[in-house]
Amino acid sequence: MGKWVSRGILWLFLLIIALFTVFPVLMTILGSFKSNLELASGATIWPKEWHFSNYAEAWKQANFSTYTWNSLFVSVASTVGTLIVASMAGYVVDRRNFIGKRFFVVMQASTMFISIGAVVLRPQFELMVDIRLNQSLWGVVFILISAHATTFFILMGFFKAIPRDVDEAAMIDGCSFMGIYWRMILPLLKPGLGVTALFAFRNAWNEYILPLVFTMNTPKLQTLTVGLTNLRYGSGAAMQTHLMMAGACLSMLPILVVYFFANRSFMQVTAGSVKG
């Protein structure tokens, strides 16, 4: 009897957490089909009249095609760069002993706590000014790649799960250190790369402060998160909450697509952990 009670309490707790997680998303989706007047009144949860034109209007007003391309460029470039840098660093740290190895790992861990939002924006921006990338999305990409500590430590766990016998067998066959990394280790690291790629893409896609700072003087380079703020006010300084919700729903689609392709990696990681 006590087992069923504890299981029921667990399921009730999980259901409450799921409701708190899903409810804001559901309200955003339903609100994207309402008129602005209906949203302001807040009378009903379900739309009285479905305004599908909100999506077309949001796409047009927010210049979605340009901003979406900018967001995709930043997200894809920073994700690829993060995976390359973090996987190479993790491979060397796990497979080699060198002077300053412990210090390097400590420095990687410290960057996860030192970077405290707006405090580091000024030195980052000044650095990009010095190398003349302050008016380019490449500046945003390089800063996002530099924040690869989380990906580094996640991949380190996957590297430790790959037997060193693989390296030794490949070395006997005449494969170089980088050849082992490229031909042997990376294919075995696909589940870890899939999981970390999703996290890196999500963080880059949702980044707001960095693209805002770097595109203040070049609006055509704004990303989707920054461009969505253009929907806040319409003619006459009237709030356009319905269009902002429609734009937010459109901005969710790339994340859902990436998760769909990375879902197999999550399943492989989960199955491996349960089996182990």
pLDDT digits (tens, 9 = 90+) for 23-44: 888 888 887 787 777 777 766 7
Query: Which domain covers residue 76, as residue numbers?
Result: 62-231
Query: What's the CA gap between 179 and 91, in Å, rounded?
Result: 12
Among residues of the chain, what percentage have pLDDT more than 70? 88
- Angle (deg, nearest 10), helices 64-95 and 137-146: 30
Does a structural domain hold residue 143? Answer: yes
Phi, then psi, of 133 in degrees rounded to 5? -120, 20
Question: What is the value of pTM for the model shown?
Answer: 0.79
- The pLDDT assigned to 43 comes to 63
Query: What's the CA gap between 116 and 259, in Å, rounded?
Result: 27
Instruction: Tell which residue, 87, 67, 112, has the closest CA to residue 205.
Output: 67
Q: What six digits make up the tokens of 246?
A: 């429609």
- The pLDDT assigned to 272 comes to 42
Number of domains observed in the structure of the chain:
1
- The pLDDT assigned to 270 comes to 44
- The pLDDT assigned to 118 comes to 65
Query: What's the CA gap between 83 and 193, in Å, rounded?
Result: 7
The span from the first CA to the last CA of the chain, in angstroms, equals 31
Does a structural domain hold residue 34? Answer: no
Does a structural domain hold residue 166? Answer: yes
CB atoms within 10 A of CB 204: 27
Does a structural domain hold residue 258? Answer: no
- The pLDDT assigned to 273 comes to 39
Using 50 as the pLDDT threshold, list the residues of the chain that sit under it: 236-237, 270-276
Question: CB-based burial of residue 51 (10 Å sphere; 0-12 exposed, 13-18 middle, 19+ buried)?
Answer: middle
- The pLDDT assigned to 114 comes to 66
Does a structural domain hold residue 243? Answer: no
- The pLDDT assigned to 95 comes to 85
Q: What six digits make up the tokens of 156?
A: 């380190």
Does a structural domain hold residue 87? Answer: yes
- Angle (deg, nearest 10), helices 53-61 and 64-95: 80
C-alpha distance from residue 272 to each of 77, 160, 250 (Å): 29, 14, 34
Does a structural domain hold residue 97? Answer: yes
Q: What is the CATH number of the domain that holds 67?
A: 1.10.3720.10
Does a structural domain hold residue 98? Answer: yes
- The pLDDT assigned to 24 comes to 81
Instruction: Tell which residue, 19, 3, 155, 174, has the closest CA to residue 94.
Output: 155
- The pLDDT assigned to 77 comes to 94
